[in-house]
Every structure is written in C-alpha cells, then in structure tokens.
Amino acid sequence: MAANRKILLNSGTEIPIIGTGAYAPADAEAQSKVKDWLLTALKNDYRHIDTAVLYLTEAAVGQAIRESGIPREEIFVTTKLPWNHHHRVRQSFEESLHRLGLDYIDLYLIHWPGAVFYDPDNFKPLNPDGTFKTTDSVTFNDSWAELEQLLPTGKVKAIGVSNFSIKTLEQLFKTAKITPAVNQVELHPYLLQKDLRDYCKKKGIVLVAYTPSGYSTVRSDPLILELAAKYKATPNQVILAWHMALGTVIVPKSENNERQKENITLPTLGAEDVERITALDRGERLCNKADKHGQVYGWTYEQLGW
C-alpha cells in the first residue's frame, strides 16, 4: 500500500510519501467535521497529516490523533508558519504546539515567502486598493534563521519551506545554515516544475505536492481518462500513481471514506505511460493564480520567481 512508503529527509527523519491534507473552509460547519474525517483517514492507514495555522484545523488534528489510539510516533505531522507571523516565529510555533496538543512537530514549514502585515484579528489584511498588506520589516531569511533555532529544542524534527521557487531558494541560501528538508509546492501533470524539481534534487530537498490531482481540470484530460480505463482505476488514482513514479510526496485531501482508500490504493504505471503524463506539462497553475492586481497574496510572480 502506497501509504506505507517513506522517503528519507536530509534531517534524518522519514516522511510518508502519501499524507492527507487537513485544509477546511473557515465556516463553522466545515470546521466541525474535520476531526471525524481525519479519524477516518487514520483508520484507513494514513500516517501523515498536513495542517497549517491558516487552515484553522490544528486543534482538530490533535484531537483526531489522541482519539485514534495510534501511538504519536507513528504519525507524521506537518504544520506551517503563517504569512503574517514571520516576525514571531518562536511564539507562533509554540502556539501551534499548544493547539495541536503535541510535544513535538515532525515538520515545520514557512508557508509563504512573503511577509504579510500582522493583524491578530485578520489573516488577510488589505490595503485601501484591495491588495494584500505586506511588510518589508522582516524577510524569509530572518524567519528561516528563527526556524533553525527551533531544531535544537527537540520540539521539531525537520524544517522546510512552501511555495518557494529557485529564485527564493537562492535568496534563502545566502544566509541559511541548514538546508530545508522539504519544499511544498503546487505540482500536477499540468505543472511539472521540472527546473525546480532538478534544483531541489541537487540540493537534497524533497518536493511535496499540494493540489496533486490538478482538480477536475487535469482529471478530465483525455489522456488521464484513457489511462484510467486502461488501468481500471479512477482518473485521480492515475494522477497520484504518476506522482509515486516520480518519487514525489503528496498530500491529497478527501473527507470521503472510499476516496481516502482510493488515494492510497494506486496502480503501478508503465514507464511509457508515466512519460506520456509528464508530457502534459504546460506550466499552468490551478491553485494560486494571480489576482486582478497581478499578485498572489501580495507578491507578484516576479517576486515569487514563478
């Protein structure tokens, strides 16, 4: 079963190659269901949960782990520093630990390279013109130095980044003493990010894919449908199997029991079919597209290096 496969990180810890994303909309009804579908995922043999402060699900993750009866050391937990906490890394980390109710976190990521203005009551502060209110008072180099200071505490096993490009990683390496263990980015057949893959492999950074299926846009591609019929699998299973063939860690999210099982019961694709899927790449982002201001959470594609 794919959920049992693990990849060794440069920190010496192992990460399960398939996890479950723990994102949920901010409304009360959706949030109230999180613990239950995470418990279902754990019962379905998932041992890797990917959450974040911005998902508002850390408390539910901790509750699910405790109620599952599964030993803590068997579950890999990722959470992330939010974009408006770049100036308060240690405090934010301790707050995440408290919400999770855990003694340690397996992987802690900088969620977004850009620093957003800190407003404790608003994760998405806006300027009068509707753009994200960012700040230059702290950089991700500063934040990374603080993440590095967390490792000796034993409260985190590995540190990494998310949404970083070659450009922002190069900037990070100007001051970094520790190489990120992970870079979590959008990856799917329409967004291969080959240059970033090659760069991260050279640096010993494991890529983790969010939006791994590419939504219905990729799942409905004629080639994916053809291969789904060939392998007697769902389009989603074919795409996730492609990720497995490339050695990419993935964190698909499903609240549905049967789909959770599907996501870890994957066919083995032939090498030629892997190449055919890889050839679908068109550099198309489906998750974090630029807004009407030409920005993604306050940064332009040029700033992001996208």
Is 190 contained in some domain?
A: yes
In a domain, 241, yes or no: yes
SS (H, E, C) 220-256: CCHHHHHHHHHCCCCHHHHHHHHHHHHCCEECCCCCC
Q: Residue 261 sits in which domain range?
A: 7-304
As a whole number, mean pLDDT of residues 93-101 equals 99
Would residue 182 count as lying in a domain?
Answer: yes
Please name the residue that has the structure tokens 């590095």: 148
Number of domains in the chain: 1
Strand order in the sheet with 48-50: 20-21, 48-50, 76-81, 105-110, 156-162, 182-186, 206-210, 249-250
- Whether residue 1 is contained in a domain is answered as no
Model confidence pLDDT, tens digit, residues 186-242 = 999 999 999 999 999 999 999 999 999 999 999 999 999 999 999 999 999 999 999
> 120 pLDDT exceeds 90?
no
Here the CATH number for the domain that contains residue 141 is 3.20.20.100
Cα 8–14–16 angle (5° rounding)? 105
CA–CA separation, 61 vs 43, rounded Å?
14
Is residue 122 in some structural domain?
A: yes
Q: Which of 116, 52, 112 is nearest to 251 (CA)?
A: 52
Report which of 287, 216, 208, 278 is spatially closest to residue 242, judged by C-alpha positions. Answer: 278
Q: Residue 98 gets which letter from DSSP? A: H
- Residue 76 falls within a domain, yes or no? yes
Mean pLDDT, to the nearest integer, of 88-93? 98
- Residues β-bridged to residue 8: 14
Give the whole-angstrom CA distance, residue 77 versus residue 99: 13
Whether 55 is a known active-site residue: answer: yes
Residue among 240, 217, 211 at smallest CA distance from 21: 211
What does pTM read for this prediction?
Answer: 0.96
Above 70 in pLDDT, residue 3? no
| Residue that the structure tokens 């700033």 belong to | 303
The candidate with the shortest Cα–Cα distance to 14, out of 179, 181, 164, is: 181
CB 273 within 8 A of CB 227: yes
Give Cβ neighbours of residue 12 (< 8 Å, ≥ 6 apart): none
191, amino acid identity: L
180 lies in a domain?
Answer: yes
* Confidence band for 259, pLDDT divided at 50, 70 and 90: very high
Mean pLDDT throughout 117-135? Answer: 94
| Residue located via tokens 């900037």 | 171
At 6, give phi and psi (nearest 5°). -130, 155
Catalytic residue among 55, 108, 190, 297: 55
Q: pLDDT tens digits, residue range 38-84?
A: 999 999 999 999 999 999 999 999 999 999 999 999 999 999 999 99
- Of the candidates 231, 232, 211, the residue with the CA atom closest to the CA atom of residue 274: 231
The pLDDT tens digits for 239-255 are 999 999 999 999 999 99
Flag whether 251 is in a domain.
yes
DSSP 168: H
Residue 48, marked binder: no
Q: What is the dihedral of CA 156, 112, 254, 249, to 10 degrees?
A: -60
306-146-253-198 Cα dihedral, nearest 10 degrees = 40
Residue 103: both structure tokens together = 């003694």
